[in-house]
A and B are shown apart, each in its own frame.
Chain A
Amino acid sequence: MTAVTDEILSFDEAMEKYDPVLGFEVHVELNTKTKMFSAAPNVFGDEPNTAVSPVDLGLPGVLPVVNKAAVEYSIMIGLALNCKIAESCFFARKNYFYPDTPKNFQTSQYEDPICYDGYLDIELEDGEVFRVEIERAHMEEDAGKLTHMGGATGRIQGAEYSLVDYNRAGVPLVEIVTKPIVGAGSRAPELARAYVAAIREIVKNLGVSDARMERGNVRCDANVSLMPKGTTEFGIRSETKNVNSLRSVERAVRFEIQRHAAVLDAGQKVTQETRHWHEDTRSTTSGRPKSDADDYRYFPEPDLVPVVTTPEWIEELRGRLPEPPAERRKRLKAAWGYSDAEFRDVVNAGVMDAIEDTIAAGASAAVARKWWMGEISRRAKEAEVDPVDVGVSPELIVELDKLVQAGKINDKLARQVLDGVLAGEGTPEEVIEKRGLAVVSDDGPLLEAIDAALAAQPDVAEKIRGGKVQAAGAIVGGVMKATRGQADAGRVRELIFERLGVQG
């Protein structure tokens, strides 16, 4: 565990004195079939150094060739971020020596990114919308992966040697860079999380990335600086690297704000540097100093010709864009008639798509929500899986619901029917048959049970007679117990009122 060595100010105090300025560089790994500049497969988790070609290893004599699909995906991301698309743009070489970079330069874009000048409207939890300006989204290649061996920490410090896996080298990346984000105030940490969540959602929705943060498909570098309240000149920033979960993004921004505030309060200057985020201590530690004078000796990549886009091509790609996630949510929420809270819970549970499918299969919005947020979510929690992985299809829900509507089973029995179906005992009908689960619809046995229940609780019976209809629940419960749940509760309630001669 890394010790926290930095002083920090309380967040509230920091917010009283300073305004935070944020900036994000989000790297998105594209899920193209092949790599950015070679025909090697773009895969995750293979044996080290098997998904490589001579190009990815930087062998003498090799040349890059641009992956057209990666360019298209990049343009689609740009369009989704409301960016302009360059008519023509170059790749550039970013020169630096590091063993995870096989050529000792990264092929990237420098002066002219393929996408520029965009924006993204970020909706915070309470519905407030915050516009984040996008400076650019450019194409580049990923580096290989280093594993430091022999040390206790897995870090380079103290390691005896390092292994390098070039499977990831050359995987297509799009780097999305924001303009400085001013004015978020105390909502900066929340905005940080919401922004990265929105990027992740967009690229996933576009189908251009697997968007799994835990696999590094989406990686965030968060820039933070503070300016004293009432001033407008940006402070010195820190860049916290590879903050790779939404929760970490929020925490890292919050921590950096608190740390900067303490430094400034002590009358010192913030060091311009990269910081590393540690989830265990929820703090950052100093990385390497970073200055604007870092010299990567960029120059146009002479082995590649410019990427030229035509209006026709861009329009064709625009036509391929799915509905933006935020608009889609707005549309579905209105169509389904859920409350703000209900809809938020649905989104957070990750069952919005499932509900949409279930409604399409014939269920009402209320029934679909009841199933996904109720029984299925409960089972998911028990099994520690996502609700959509429980194994319940929209069609099955519709079928069970029809049986309930028809009065053949009630909700409680429906759960048992679901058990049977999931256990492979056949269709719902077959399970009802085999397990003998049909509700008791003959009033005879019900009336017997009702009379017994009323006799057992005369005081309750008296209350109902006196007009306290809500007291009927106790009798219904007794009847349900007596019939082991196989009664239709609604019918039981009707019969109780009939028996006692009151209006339900």
Chain B
Amino acid sequence: MSELTRHSAARLAEMLAAKDVSSVEVTQAHLDRIAEVDGNVNAFLHVNTEEALAVAADVDKARAAGEELPVLAGVPIAIKDLIVTVGQPTTAGSRILEGWMSPYDATVIKKIRAAKMPMLGKTNLDEFAMGSSTEHSAYGPTRNPWDLGRIPGGSGGGSAAAVAAFEAPLALGTDTGGSIRQPASVTGSVGVKPTYGGVSRYGAIAMASSLDQIGPVSRTVLDSALLHEVIGGHDPHDSTSLTDPVGSLAEAARTGDVRGLRIGVVRELQGEGYDAGVQARFDESLELLRGAGAEIVEVSCPNFRYALGAYYLIMPSEASSNLAKFDGVRYGQRVLPADGPMTIERVMGATRAAGFGDEVKRRIILGTYALSAGYYDAYYGSAQKVRTLVQRDFDAAFAKADVLISPTAPTTAFKLGEKLDDPLAMYLNDVATIPANLAGVPGISVPGGLADGLPVGIQFLAPAREDARLYRAGHVLESLLEEKWGGPLLAQAPDLAAAETMSGAN
């Protein structure tokens, strides 16, 4: 593996700016890495070789000509395949969009282009971002670079695995209930769900509009901050987009100090249901932060216990409506009924029957039911009330603490197939990440060490619009831990190039 793929995005940006290396070299190194390991990892659904190299060459030319360039110009990035891109297919991990080419770019893609970042390709995901393991992709599961027999988390397993496997220094993800943070947690990478409205959703294929948020995936906290600055900010195409400026998040990441920062431990997000190894790494992190001068306080969010239930009503309700447009009439796959009359209803039905996978169908059915007349108040209505209670719990907690802390997920990466037939067990993996989506507050997951050789993630949560606090606290914890480990956690990951023999393991 080229050493170039081991560098952080911030380091690559420095090297590029100093002309120590060209963007073509950096981009090619990552493309080579993808060719080398992605047969095993399956992080990418599409590799964008030609365009990525062309953009890299343009950056090199501009730099040679002395043009002023954006900070991350020439640093390559991978894109979750839920985000629409001109020139590359967008599948959402579903058969129903197989071969579909978007005629327009998502707002974040326009920003990536403006930042002159070569796009390496589109990463795998659970179909329409519905899942916590990436096993629900119609194009096969992504594997965890730490153990190819295990899941990389989901739905953004592709983006997290690509970053953790050194196939990309940066990636974009989307987080509806933890789809950025939980994969980061189980792959030893960093993932951020920004404040709802902080990053435009225009061009992210909607699962649950009131919960979805695009965010950065990386190997370091600073890298996520740099990427967050590129993609954040108001977008007139997204009515729910905040008008606040993004602020200097990289500066927050460089603060290097948590003295006096009040860190709230959420009583309900630990203990029962959390693996002992996860709990041990979490307790260690708390001690490190305390030692660095942070004030550790306990907070209680009693309504978080209802968050998962509310989430699994609101999310499928919105999804059932958002996914109605996939009917074969205007774009994507069209499947004709095998026999019987050829009516529009039956063509739509056959298309959706063949085009959607089981988990998607499960959620559409759940959501359709929850919105039905006679059930609406009991299900969707009650869930919205819980949502308000969860928001109030956050308000109360943030009155006592500047940031909250918890394990990102209750377990480390489980084995492929282990929870595939038990949706409830799968859903429980999001128990610690979901409250942030219900309340619209930002969250980050940073590597917290290993339990039985597998990564554990530590989550920080901050009040809405206070994303900077995540970068400040996250970076301090990252530094403290790396000091303890003698380097980044991912340095301890197995050498995937030697894992070729494992490709047949599962």
Interface residues of A (CB under 8 A from B): 54, 57-66, 93, 95, 97, 99, 102-105, 162, 164, 293, 295, 297-299, 302-305
Contact = CB atoms under 8 A, between A and B. Distances in A.
Contacts of B83: 61
A304 B239 contact: yes
18 contacts: A57-B331, A58-B330, A59-B84, A59-B103, A60-B97, A60-B325, A61-B202, A61-B205, A63-B201, A63-B238, A65-B238, A97-B327, A297-B321, A299-B380, A302-B318, A303-B239, A303-B240, A305-B239
Nearest to A303: B209
Contact of B90 (A57, A60, A93): A60
A97 B323 CA distance: 11
B203 A302 contact: no
A274 to B, nearest CB: 18
Contact of A64 (B90, B239, B317, B368): B239
Interface stretch (B22-30, B114-122, B370-378, B446-454): B370-378
A293 B324 CA distance: 21
Given A64-B239, A303-B209, A103 B324 contact: yes
A302 B209 CA distance: 6
B204 interface: yes
Contacts of A93: 321
Contacts of A303: 206, 209, 239-240
A60 B92 contact: yes
A267 B368 CA distance: 40
B372 A297 contact: yes
Contacts of A97: 324, 327, 345, 348
A375 B428 CA distance: 84
Given A54-B103, A60-B90, A61-B106, A299 B239 contact: no
Contacts of B237: 63, 65
A298 B345 CA distance: 21
Contact of B84 (A60, A95, A105, A304): A60
A54 B201 contact: no
Contacts of A105: 321, 324
A382 B317 CA distance: 62
B479 interface: no
Interface in B95-144: 97, 100, 102-104, 106
B329 interface: yes
B324 A60 contact: no
Interface of B: 83-84, 90, 92, 97, 100, 102-104, 106, 201-206, 208-210, 236-240, 317-318, 320-321, 324-327, 329-331, 344-345, 348, 368, 371-373, 376, 380
Instruction: Give the top 8 A-B pairs by smallest Cβ distance, nearest first.
Output: A104-B324, A297-B371, A302-B209, A302-B210, A61-B203, A60-B205, A61-B84, A58-B325
B113 to A, nearest CB: 16
A19 to B, nearest CB: 31
B201 A60 contact: no
Contacts of A103: 324-325
Given A59-B103, A299-B318, 17 more contacts: A60-B84, A60-B90, A60-B92, A60-B97, A60-B205, A61-B83, A62-B202, A62-B203, A95-B371, A103-B325, A104-B325, A104-B327, A299-B376, A302-B210, A303-B209, A303-B240, A304-B239
Contacts of A54: 103-104
Contact of B344 (A57, A62, A162, A304): A162
Contacts of A59: 84, 102-104, 330-331
A75 to B, nearest CB: 19
A333 B380 CA distance: 57
Contacts of B97: 60
A64 B322 CA distance: 13
Contacts of B103: 54, 59
Contacts, number: 98
Contact of B239 (A57, A66, A95, A102): A66
B386 to A, nearest CB: 16
A95 B321 contact: yes
Nearest to B241: A63
A369 B201 CA distance: 61
A58 B238 CA distance: 15
A97 B330 CA distance: 13
B204 A61 contact: yes
Contacts of A302: 208-210, 240, 318
A19 B402 CA distance: 69
A272 B205 CA distance: 40
Indicate the member of A60, A102, A293 with the most B CB atoms within 10 Å: A60
Nearest to A96: B324
A303 B321 CA distance: 12
Nearest to A99: B329
Contacts of A295: 372-373
Nearest to A100: B329
Nearest to A95: B321
A65 B235 CA distance: 11
Contacts of B372: 295, 297
Nearest to A297: B371
A335 B175 CA distance: 69
Contacts of B104: 54, 59
Nearest to A97: B348
Nearest to A160: B342
B198 to A, nearest CB: 15
Nearest to A55: B237
Given A60-B325, A61-B204, A305-B239, A102 B92 contact: no
B236 A65 contact: yes
A297 B368 CA distance: 8
Given A95-B324, A297-B368, A102 B330 contact: yes
A95 to B, nearest CB: 5
A104 B330 CA distance: 11
A298 B318 CA distance: 11
Contacts of A61: 83-84, 102, 106, 202-206
Contacts of B210: 302
Given A61-B102, A63-B201, A302-B210, A102 B84 contact: no
A104 B97 CA distance: 17
B321 A57 contact: no
Contacts of B238: 63, 65
B93 to A, nearest CB: 12
Contact of A60 (B102, B236, B329, B344): B102
A83 to B, nearest CB: 25
A311 B350 CA distance: 51
B84 A65 contact: no
Nearest to A62: B202
A103 B348 CA distance: 13
Contact of A299 (B102, B201, B371): B371
B43 to A, nearest CB: 22
Contacts of A304: 239-240
A283 B330 CA distance: 36
Indicate the member of B83, B92, B208, B239 with the most A CB atoms within 10 Å: B239
Contacts of A305: 239-240
Contacts of A293: 373
A418 B295 CA distance: 95
Contacts of A58: 325, 330
Contacts of A66: 239
Contacts of A60: 84, 90, 92, 97, 100, 102, 205, 325-326, 331
Contacts of B90: 60
A2 B36 CA distance: 71
A329 to B, nearest CB: 42
A63 B90 CA distance: 17
A149 B157 CA distance: 47
A7 B362 CA distance: 49
Nearest to A299: B371
B34 to A, nearest CB: 25
A109 to B, nearest CB: 15
Nearest to B342: A161
A64 B236 CA distance: 10
B351 to A, nearest CB: 11
Nearest to A65: B239
